[in-house]
Each structure stands twice: as structure tokens, then as C-alpha cells.
């Protein structure tokens, strides 16, 4: 009853504010923009985080008015503009766009839906790379600044082997692994990159390259052969990009209004000494609507969908979230978040967002057990848009279904363990250590020597036991035999598409589709729902702490490095969904 009173008062205030502004909006409606400007920059959130306006003032980092903050807000804005007969289209500015492949696909999908409503999309950039150019290929017209560039060069990935370099400074890496495809220790043990590591990377390069070729062929109306030739001839200056047909024309930012909304010659001559007004952002269009959409407070609360983030290397304890030092997912923090989502009666279902390359086997199993308990009470869907491998994949097994984007990294069912020996480095520095033990394996963690035959045998047995337990977890969750999972295991990694074919993934789709499906499994069918994030890291950890902890023998369920292919071959983890 109290809620009804507050909702009624809130809606009454909204109505009064709307009516008071009506005369001003009627005056402004005659000048409602025909093109609305949007700016895509950095990484976009999946959904809007509600922030107080005054926080921007304190931080001094308020974004430009046209900057898109989330895929959700962009989709809603395009939906409103598509219904306005006065609106001809949008201007899409790209500046340093850095989203995952899954988010890029969602942007392209939204732009194509907007075009199908009879509206135009005009893309503009100063400098654009492979990712940004794929987004621009979804536009009707592509414009580039006269001093701009199109860094269309294809994809590269650099694999590194540090074995010889570590040996030169007196450090030896001693690792035991289960599976020829569990190549993570090779970074420290091998002098050269192995054939298996190279083949693994090339499989992902082939998929990303094919996607880039298809985007250029479809967007610029070229054959696949012509698209590949265009990539081979990159990068491009602005003039070369126009000549090659990658962009339609060169246009400075100041010239954009005149190009999109041309005026009669007499008006241009009259105002030729006055600068063109910049294109309006979405806020200006909304302010010029006589009856803008009002977000009325619903009498009933929206359905609540729980969201749990498992991002970074999985470690025991609380984990960390930076900004200084690497991001880790602590088992204590994640388990607490899972339990909180399970206890919340308003959360009808849970989405487990995973962007983790794995980590501690023990911590991964603790997280898996917690997720399994919640999944017995309510629907839990795991979603991967970048990487869920080994420990990350193990955690996903607790969900009823695993969803993935097409180019995410999944799998890597395997185990390795080891330590670094620094006896050579200590001798070079004049450091002398004497190891005294009581017990055959008492010195197994020592960095002053390698493994004894007895210690290595013990470690191999533990790694094998952990691997068999991993196989059993996957076999049970995926309803397969351990032999079938072993054939897909031993460290093999898959893209989301290949993981679907291998039976390691249930569906390939978007984050929004996974959210709606989770609610549908709970019997809730709605496009509007409240996304509630549970948990978060409680402290920070430095890179030095991780390196020091790596000097001891640990069991890992996967390589501690998450990677994403870029046009420069960079390996960079990132995630954002809030």
C-alpha cells in the first residue's frame, strides 16, 4: 500500500513536469533535428548503470552529450527515432571504439534494424581500425576526416616463449601438465612456440579474418576476393581509402551538418560567415518532442534478474578489481555473491557472466559447488562473450545452460602445476641457500632447486587426479561420458561456434537474449526487467603479489592469461556489462 502511494505521487510529479514543459516543447518541435548524432567511444556497457548526476561534477569526467553509454540506451534511442517521420537518420561518430566482438555484433544488429525502418545511418570517423570499420560497414554512407586513416590490416597474434630468456638469467620453469593442448606452461618452459600453440591461434585468426572479410564484402558490396585484396593493401590514408571505395567521401567535422542537412543556396549565402551549428544529440531531439516518452513508475516492480560477475583469474580468497594490479575473481567473494543471489526471493533467475581464463582448481570447484546449489532453486544461465576456459568453464558447468558469443574462447579442459627455480639467479647474485628437509616432499615448494623424482611423481599423480575430477564434472554437466569429454579435453580450446558443435556450449546468442531466456525459464516473459549485480571484489592485489605467489607450486585449471585477438596482435582481457 505504501508503495502505491509513492508511485502515485511520483507519477503525478512526472505528469506535472511534462505539462509544464509542453508549451516550450511545442515551440521547439518546429526545429526538431532530422539527423541525430551519436558517438561510440571506448567500451560500452550492456545495460545502463543508474548514476547520480552530481557524481560527474565531482569526478570531472562527464562524457560528451552524444556519447553512447550502453547498448541498452542506444537500442531504446534508435527505437524512438525510427518512429519519428521527421527523422531521416543518424550520424554515427566512432572514436576509439573498444568493445568485444559480441558487443560489436549487437551494434551492427541495432543499426541494421534501424535501417530496415527506412532510416539512414551515416558513419564518420577520424581514424578507424578493423573493429570500428566493421561497425561502419553497417552504415548507408561512410565518411572520413580528410586527415584520417583506415587501419584495415587484418588480424595478428603473437605467441611468446620465455624458456631460453629465463634460463639466461638463472631461472628454470618446472611444470607438469595434463594434455598436449594445455600450452599455458610453454610460455615459461619452451624456447620456441610449439606447433600446437600456433595451430590453436591460427584457428581463431581464421574465424576473425573470415568475419572481417564478410563484413567488408556485405557492407561495401564487394566480392570476398575483393575484400581480401582490400585488407592486404591496408592500412589506408584518407585519400587512398576513398580511391579504394572503403569510404564514400572525405568530410571534416565542421562540414557534417551541411552535408547531412543541406540548405537552399540563398540561406547558405546569407549565413556563410557564420559557423554551422553542430548536429544535435538525442537529448535535443527529446526536448523538441511535444509529447516525449515518460518513464512512468510502474505500480508493480519490474521482474528482477540477478547478475553475478566472474571476471579475471580465479584465486582463493577475496580477489581484486584494480585499477592497480590485475583483476582476479576470489572464490570467497564470488561464492558470497552466488549465495546472495540465491537468497534474494525477488531475483527470479540468475545470469552468471564469465570472463575468466581459469586459475586455482580448488577455488574453481568451490564456485562450481555454490552455483550448483543455487541452480537447484532457480534458473541459472552462464553467459560468455570473451573467455570461459578451464576454471572459468568449470564454473559455468553449474548453470542449467551455457550461452556464448560466436567468437568467445571456451573449453581448455586440462590441468597444469609447477614452480620456478631461481638457483641460477641466486648463485649469480651471490646468494647461498641451504635446504634442510624432513620428509620426501617437504621441499616441493622451494625455489632454490627443481623437483626430485619423488616430488615430480607426486605432483604428476595430483595433476592426473585433478584432471580426472575435471572430466567427471564436465561429463556429468554435459551428459556425456568421460571418454567423450577427454576427446574434447587435454587443454583444447574452442570458439563459441565450435564449442556449440562440440557439445560444450548450449546456445550461441547475445547477452540480452540470455537474460530474457533466464527469465523465461522462471516463467517470466518480459522485455523490461531490473538487473541486479551481486558481489564484488573486496581488496586489491598487486602484480608483484601474484608473481610471488606463482613462485610456489599451485594447481591451475587453465592458463592465467585471458586474450582477445586484435589487429595488432594484442592480447587484452576486458569486460563490462553494468
- pLDDT tens digits, 357-388: 988 888 999 999 999 999 999 999 999 999 99
C-alpha to C-alpha distance for 406 and 404, rounded to whole angstroms: 6
Q: What percent of the chain has pLDDT over 90?
A: 53
Which cell is 314 given? 580465479
pLDDT of the residue at 10:
65
Active site residues: 182, 390
Give yes or no for residue 174 having a pLDDT over 80: yes
**Per-residue confidence band for 66, with pLDDT thresholds at 50, 70 and 90:** confident
pLDDT of the residue at 52:
41
Please state which architecture CATH assigns to domain 22-52+62-153+234-287. Answer: Alpha-Beta Complex (3.90)
**Per-residue confidence band for 395, with pLDDT thresholds at 50, 70 and 90:** very high
HSE-CB of 477 using CA atoms within 13 angstroms:
27
- Give the mean pLDDT of 90-95: 94
- Give the mean pLDDT of 297-319: 83
Domain 302-556 falls in which CATH fold? Answer: 2-enoyl-CoA Hydratase; Chain A, domain 1 (3.90.226)
- pLDDT tens digits, 460-486: 999 999 999 999 999 999 999 999 999
Which DSSP string do the residues of 282-342 spell out, in sequence order? HHHHHHT-SS----PPPSSPPPEEEEEEEESEEESSSEE--SSS--EEEHHHHHHHHHHHH
> 331-343 and 361-375 helices cross at what angle (nearest 10)?
0
pLDDT of the residue at 264:
60
CA 368 to the chain's CA centroid? 22
Which cell is 31 given? 526545429
Q: Where are the domains of the chain?
A: 22-52+62-153+234-287, 302-556
- Give the mean pLDDT of 507-512: 94
Residue 358 φ/ψ region, left for φ over 0, alpha for ψ in the -120 to 50 degree band, beta for the rest = left
pLDDT of the residue at 334:
93
- Give the mean pLDDT of 248-271: 76
Between 48 and 224, the more confident residue is 224
pLDDT of the residue at 571:
32
Sign of CA dihedral 228, 230, 236, 242: negative
- pLDDT tens digits, 519-544: 999 998 877 888 889 875 444 444 44
- pLDDT tens digits, 399-450: 999 999 999 999 999 988 889 999 899 888 899 988 888 898 899 889 999 9
pLDDT of the residue at 159:
84
Give yes or no for residue 224 having a pLDDT over 80: yes
**Per-residue confidence band for 574, with pLDDT thresholds at 50, 70 and 90:** very low
> Are both 22-52+62-153+234-287 and 302-556 of the same fold?
yes
pLDDT of the residue at 49:
65
Q: Which of 42-51, 138-147, 148-157, 270-279 has the lowest mean pLDDT?
A: 270-279
What is the model's pTM?
Answer: 0.83
**Per-residue confidence band for 507, with pLDDT thresholds at 50, 70 and 90:** very high
DSSP β-ladder status, 89-97 and 120-128 = parallel
**Per-residue confidence band for 24, with pLDDT thresholds at 50, 70 and 90:** low
Amino acid at each position: 500500500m505504501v508503495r502505491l502511494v509513492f508511485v502515485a505521487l511520483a507519477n503525478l510529479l512526472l505528469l506535472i513536469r511534462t505539462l509544464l514543459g509542453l508549451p516550450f516543447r511545442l515551440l521547439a518541435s518546429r526545429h526538431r533535428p532530422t539527423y541525430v548524432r551519436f558517438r561510440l567511444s571506448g567500451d560500452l556497457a550492456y545495460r545502463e548503470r543508474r548514476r547520480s548526476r552530481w557524481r560527474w561534477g565531482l569526478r570531472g569526467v562527464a562524457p560528451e552529450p552524444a556519447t553512447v553509454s550502453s547498448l541498452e540506451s542506444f537500442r531504446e534511442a534508435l527505437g524512438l527515432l525510427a518512429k519519428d517521420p521527421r527523422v531521416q537518420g543518424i550520424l554515427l561518430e566512432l572514436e576509439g571504439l573498444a568493445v568485444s566482438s559480441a558487443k560489436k555484433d549487437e551494434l551492427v544488429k541495432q543499426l541494421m534494424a534501424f535501417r530496415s525502418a527506412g532510416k539512414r545511418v551515416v558513419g564518420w570517423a577520424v581514424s578507424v581500425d578493423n573493429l570500428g570499420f566493421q561497425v561502419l560497414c553497417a552504415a548507408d554512407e561512410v565518411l572520413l576526416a580528410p586527415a584520417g586513416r583506415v587501419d584495415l590490416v587484418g588480424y595478428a597474434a603473437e605467441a611468446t616463449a620465455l624458456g631460453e630468456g629465463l634460463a639466461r638469467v638463472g631461472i628454470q620453469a618446472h611444470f607438469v601438465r595434463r594434455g598436449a593442448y594445455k600450452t599455458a606452461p610453454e610460455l615459461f618452459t619452451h624456447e620456441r612456440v610449439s606447433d600446437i600453440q600456433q595451430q590453436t591461434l591460427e584457428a581463431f585468426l581464421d574465424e576473425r579474418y573470415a568475419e572481417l572479410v564478410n563484413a567488408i564484402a556485405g557492407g561495401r558490396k564487394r566480392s570476398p576476393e575483393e575484400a581480401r585484396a582490400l585488407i592486404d593493401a591496408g592500412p589506408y590514408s584518407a585519400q587512398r581509402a576513398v580511391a579504394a571505395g572503403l569510404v564514400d567521401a572525405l568530410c571534416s567535422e565542421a562540414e557534417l551538418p551541411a552535408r547531412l542537412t543541406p540548405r537552399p543556396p540563398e540561406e547558405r549565402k546569407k549565413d556563410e560567415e557564420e559557423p554551422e551549428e553542430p548536429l544535435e544529440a538525442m537529448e535535443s531531439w527529446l526536448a523538441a518532442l511535444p509529447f516525449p516518452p515518460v518513464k512512468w513508475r510502474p505500480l508493480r516492480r519490474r521482474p528482477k534478474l540477478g547478475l553475478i560477475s566472474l571476471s579475471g583469474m580465479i584465486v582463493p580468497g577475496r580477489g581484486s578489481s584494480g585499477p592497480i594490479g590485475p583483476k582476479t575473481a576470489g572464490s570467497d567473494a564470488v561464492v558470497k555473491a552466488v549465495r546472495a543471489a540465491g537468497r534474494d526471493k525477488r531475483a527470479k533467475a540468475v545470469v552468471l557472466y564469465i570472463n575468466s581464463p581459469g586459475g586455482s582448481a580448488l577455488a574453481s570447484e568451490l564456485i562450481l559447488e555454490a552455483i550448483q546449489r543455487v541452480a537447484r532453486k532457480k534458473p541459472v544461465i552462464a553467459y560468455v562473450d570473451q573467455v570461459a576456459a578451464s576454471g572459468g568453464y568449470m564454473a559455468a558447468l553449474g548453470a542449467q545452460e551455457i550461452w556464448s558469443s560466436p567468437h568467445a574462447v571456451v573449453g581448455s579442459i586440462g590441468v597444469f602445476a609447477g614452480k620456478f627455480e631461481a638457483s641460477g639467479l641466486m648463485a649469480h647474485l651471490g646468494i647461498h641457500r641451504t635446504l634442510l628437509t624432513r620428509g620426501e616432499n617437504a621441499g616441493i615448494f622451494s625455489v632454490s632447486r627443481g623437483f626430485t623424482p619423488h616430488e615430480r611423481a607426486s605432483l604428476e599423480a595430483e595433476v592426473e587426479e585433478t584432471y580426472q575430477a575435471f572430466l567427471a564434472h564436465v561429463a556429468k554437466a554435459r551428459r556425456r561420458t568421460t571418454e567423450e569429454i577427454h576427446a574434447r579435453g587435454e587443454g583444447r580450446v574452442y570458439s563459441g561456434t565450435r564449442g556449440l558443435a562440440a557439445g560444450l556450449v548450449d546456445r550461441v546468442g547475445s547477452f540480452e537474449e540470455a537474460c530474457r531466456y533466464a527469465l523465461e525459464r522462471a516463467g517470466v516473459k518480459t522485455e523490461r526487467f531490473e538487473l541486479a549485480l551481486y558481489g564484488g571484489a573486496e581488496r586489491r592485489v598487486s602484480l608483484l603479489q601474484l608473481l610471488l605467489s606463482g613462485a610456489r607450486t599451485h594447481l591451475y585449471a587453465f592458463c592465467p592469461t585471458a586474450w582477445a585477438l586484435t589487429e595488432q596482435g594484442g592480447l587484452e582481457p576486458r569486460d563490462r556489462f553494468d
